[in-house]
Structures are given as C-alpha cells and as structure tokens.
Amino acid sequence: MRGIIEKLPYLHALGIEILWLSPIYKSPFIDNGYDIADYQAIDPLFGTMDDFDELLAKAKTLGIAIIMDLVVNHCSDQHDWFKQACTDPNCEEASYFYFRESVNGHAPNNLRANFGGCVWDKVPGHNNLYYCHFFAKEQPDLNWFNEKLRRRIYQMINWWLDKGVAGFRVDAIMSIGKDPTFPDFPQDALGDGMCACSAMNLQCNEATNRFLNEMQEQIFRPRQAFTVGEVFNLQAENLGKFIGDNGNFSTIFDFGPHEHVCGHCAYYAYEKLSVAQLREEIFKSQRAAADYGFLAPVIENHDEPRGVSCYLPPMWHNSLGAKALGTISMLLRGIPFIYQGQELGMLNTRFNSIEEFQDLQSKEEYRRCLRQGLSVSEALDVLNAHARDHARTPMPWNEGPHAGFTSGTPWMRLQQDYQQVNVKAQLADADSVLRHYQKLVSLKKDPALQTVLTYGSCTELNTPYANVIAYTRKLAMQSVVVAANFDEGCATLTLTRRGTLRLTSGQVFINENQLTLQPGSSAVLVLA
C-alpha cells in the first residue's frame, strides 16, 4: 500500500478517477487473496489499516475514489465463521455455510468446482458431513439463503462505506445462486462424470437477483455506492436487472469477448478469436446495453491473459496494436476500466515451465491438458495462451532490478520485455502506449466531447474490411468516429461528412470525407 500511495500521482496523470483494489484483506493467499480470513483487516503483506486510511485520504485529494473487492460468495477456511462451524456444526456460524450429509456414502452431488475437483469436501473432523465450495477447497461457500449471514455481510459493507470507500467490485456474484437441494447434473464435455458448478448458477438467477436486489435497495443505493459486478453469461433481455435505473449494480464488466474465448470446458479447448469475432462481440454488448445503462468495457483483468496477446493477430502484438485496441476499448459507450500494465501495452509472459506459474487455476488446467493427452510442451503452450498469471507479474516501473517494483523478492517473475516496456521509458517517449492512454482519457474528459462520449449512442460503422473495427458515437448534432485498422493493408472509410482528427495512433490521413488508416493505426475524428 505504501507503493500505491507513492504512485498515486502516476494514476492521477493517467487521468483515472476510480481505483479498484483487488483483495487486500487478511488471507492465507490460496487464491491470491480471494480467500478472505477477515473482511475487516488488511493483510500485513500489504501494510496496515493506517496505510489504507492514508491511501484513501491522499487519493481523495487527487479526485480518485477507491473501490474494494467484495468477495462474498465464499470466504477462507481460515475465517472465524468457518473455524467455529467446523468445531460445532450445530452453531449459528455453521448455518452460514452449506453443510450437507453424505448421500449413499458419497458427496451430495456431482458438481465440479471452478478450480477442479468436486465442490464438496468433508468438514474436518466430521466424516459424514460435507461443505460446499464452488472454487478451491479452502474457499467455503457462504449460504446466502441465511438472513443472519446476509445481515453480517451488509454490516461489513457499511463499515467500509463509513470509512469512505466509494464502493465495490463485486466478485463472482452469480455464484451465490444455488439450489439448496443440490441435485445431480448431467455430466458435461470434460467427461469425468461431473458437471461445472456454473450450470447450477445459471438455473438459479432468480435467487441471485433476489439477494442482489436486497443488497442494492438496503445498502448500495441509499449509500450511493458505486458498484461494478463480475457477472458472466447474461441473457441480453436480463440486462435491465443488472444495470441502469432498475439494475442492481452501477455497472457490470463487459465480458463478451472473454466469454467467447472461454466458453469451453478447459483451456485446451479455448478459441482464438478473429478480429471479426472480437468486433461482433463488442457490438453485441453495445447493442444489448444501449436501452439499459452502462457496461464497463475491459480488454483484460487479473483473471485473463493480456488483451493485446489474446485478441489481436500476432503481427499486432506491439505498441501499434496496443494503442489501436486501447482506442477502441476506451471510447465505447460505458465506463472503461484499465487493468494495471494495459496502459503500457504489456504482452503475455513466456513461461518456461509449470514451476513458473503461481495460480492454482493454471495448475489445474495443466493437469487437464496432460489428462487430455497433450505433451508437456503443448500443455505449456496452452497456459502461455490462457493463464491468469500473465496479468499477475509485477508492474514494470523501470528497467532496473525487479523492474523497480521492489528491492525484495517479488512473488513471481517479470514479463520478459520489462527493460523496454516500463513506465519510465514510456513517460520519456511522446509516442508510447502510455502517452496514448493518457490522451485517450483526457479526450474522454474534454469538456467539448465529454457529453457525447459519455451519453452518445454507439453504432457500429460497417466497412468492407474484415479486420477493421469502427463506430460512431452520436448525440444530437455531434458525431465522433472511432476506428482502428488491424489489417495487413490500408483501409479507407467513407464518412458521411468531413471531420477533424482529434487523436491518432500510427499513420492516418483524411481527404475530404475519406479516412485512410495505415495498417495498425487508429483515429478519433469529430465530424463537422
């Protein structure tokens, strides 16, 4: 946290107004802090509560609000509630969890946890009793059907709001919808007799929405908290329950492209999207949200590989591609999020062996690859494309030891390009990805464009090019065209009228109402 305090001016210069912190609570770190042992304590690994208060106060002076990660589908098996529940399965705390007796000597049902294995494990010391965990076995799921539990969660949320945090990024929240009878499900494509636990969540959206509605009406709305939900697999017609005036969140992440990549049973079956497919996903989300409210566009986060590596063809795995993709993402209708290092155009890391990965999901996916018959090197290729660890390497501040992140020993290796791709180098280069992101944010906040870029409609601009992504933001008489060319050749777009270029990356030309984009370039143009 001292590091974040030190870098607040950097974030301020980037232009951001909200800072989302991944979990910094007390944790045994089985899942990078998403296993919380005490919701109201800072883990000493990050600093103290005093540091946190200082961070909050200093951020405020720079106009930066802080949002915390709210991880309430599950806690850690080291949380007091779970420890008490294990000691006495009849105590109140035990009812905060899903404890079930075995069925015919087996686990209650055949759901597979998100990180592999069965969602059921035995309650320590109780041979016939199981607890449910949709993630790791060290992350017991909380029973949202229990009103006392919900009250305790709401108290905790209020405590953070009282402290002055602006709101929350709400983790894995669709997982709280469960069928408390825990029936068996038909086995899925992994062929191990089990079924991904998300199948149950999909059937229980009604319960989820009931809980979310209560939390919104009783806590978030009266407190005017800003919330961004981690919500997957929504039907377009249900969006109004999540965003907009009647939604249960301020916004939710737009995971359209991500869901397309990972809509399969295991990393080894994931798809590589074409630019055309990426475009299709982007505008599908934009069309769906138009009538309701704001989505939060993202190209990467701590659960995903780097967006440039994931979504662009290899020829654009460079600063040109990063700037063009950033342009498209940042000016969509919505509340864009930048994930640390995205603003530098960071690419995936080349991991050389399974030992270099930290994430428990990477380890499980590696086992799945091997079980599927892939060789060690093929399995590594799969992880090198999809692992969450790509987003979890230390932030590169300079070309020095440990990229200037620490004088100690970081938790994992650096991304291999850090001597060129780091904050210091990019601040010194007027043409860097970082400088481009700064310009994008300031363009979005430009008083002359702020209204159209916030409230204006977003309509896909059809072009004859498979690898061009372009759209118009429009409000009343104002139109802004945003375009990026990921093709090998030039692309010329014919616009309805002449315009003025406001921001470009790469080589762009205008001639009357013709906009020509060289390969890898992007443009933002205000129509006359």
Tell which one of 1, 67, 71, 523 touches ligand TEU (CB under 6 A).
71
The DSSP call for residue 113 is P
Residues 6+ positions from 433 with CB-CB distance below 8 Å: 319, 322, 323, 326, 343, 344, 345, 426
Whether 230 is catalytic is yes
Should residue 170 be labelled a site residue for ligand TEU when binding is judged by CB under 6 A? no
Should residue 31 be labelled a site residue for ligand TEU when binding is judged by CB under 6 A? yes
* E strand or H helix at 195: strand 195-196
Can you list the alpha helix ranges (DSSP code H) found in 42-197?
Answer: 49-61, 80-87, 147-163
Burial 373-394 (b: 16+ CB within 10 A, else e): ebeeeebbebbbbbbbbbbbbb
* Closer residue to ligand TEU (CB): 67 or 331: 67
Of 412-451, binders to ligand TEU (CB under 6 A) are: none
Closest CA to 419 of 399, 405, 445: 399
Smallest distance from ligand TEU to CB 365, Å: 9
Tell which one of 171, 254, 343, 364 touches ligand TEU (CB under 6 A).
171
Query: Under a CB-based contact definition with an 8 Å cutoff, are residues 252 and 216 in contact?
Result: no
Catalytic residue (one of 171, 304, 359, 389) = 171
Smallest distance from ligand TEU to CB 360, Å: 8
Smallest distance from ligand TEU to CB 19, Å: 17
Tell which one of 20, 39, 135, 337 touches ligand TEU (CB under 6 A).
135
Should residue 34 be labelled a site residue for ligand TEU when binding is judged by CB under 6 A? yes
Smallest distance from ligand TEU to CB 172, Å: 4
Query: Under a CB-based contact definition with an 8 Å cutoff, are residues 319 and 357 in contact?
Result: no
Q: 326: which 2 tokens?
A: 């950033």
Whether 147 is catalytic is no
Can you list the alpha helix ranges (DSSP code H) found in 102-224?
Answer: 147-163, 198-203, 205-215, 221-223
Give residue 37's Cα distance to chain centre. 22
Q: Which residue is nearest to ligand TEU (CB)?
A: 34
* Closer residue to ligand TEU (CB): 93 or 303: 303
Of 453-482, binders to ligand TEU (CB under 6 A) are: none
Smallest distance from ligand TEU to CB 198, Å: 7
Tell which one of 300, 303, 364, 487 touches ligand TEU (CB under 6 A).
303
Burial 30-44 (b: 16+ CB within 10 A, else e): bbbbbbbbbbeebbe
Assign residue 482 a region (left: φ > 0; alpha: ψ between -120 and 50; beta: otherwise). beta
Taking CA atoms, 465 is separated from 284, 366, 483, 494, 511, in Å, by 18, 37, 12, 12, 19
Give residue 438's Cα distance to chain centre. 21
Should residue 56 be labelled a site residue for ligand TEU when binding is judged by CB under 6 A? no
# residues near ligand TEU by CB under 6 A: 12
* Closer residue to ligand TEU (CB): 232 or 405: 232
Q: Tell me if residue 380 falls in helix, strand or coil.
A: helix
- Strands 508-511 and 514-517: what pairing? antiparallel
Encoded one letter per residue, x for contact with ligand TEU by CB under 6 A and - for no contact, window 336-375 reads: -------------------------x--------------
> How far is the C-alpha of 119 from the C-alpha of 114, rounded, in Å?
8
Burial class (CB in 10 A: 0-12, 13-18, 19+), 125: exposed
Residues 6+ positions from 217 with CB-CB distance below 8 Å: none
Smallest distance from ligand TEU to CB 135, Å: 4
Tell which one of 37, 172, 228, 324 touches ligand TEU (CB under 6 A).
172
* Closer residue to ligand TEU (CB): 110 or 361: 361
Encoded one letter per residue, x for contact with ligand TEU by CB under 6 A and - for no contact, window 381-400 reads: -------x------------
* Closer residue to ligand TEU (CB): 230 or 281: 230
Catalytic residue (one of 230, 281, 364, 389) = 230
Closest CA to 169 of 291, 292, 66, 69: 69
Tell which one of 76, 109, 110, 114 touches ligand TEU (CB under 6 A).
114
Should residue 281 be labelled a site residue for ligand TEU when binding is judged by CB under 6 A? no
Of 202-241, binders to ligand TEU (CB under 6 A) are: 230
The set of catalytic residues is 171, 230
Binding site for ligand TEU (CB under 6 A): 31, 34, 71, 114, 135, 171-172, 230, 302-303, 361, 388
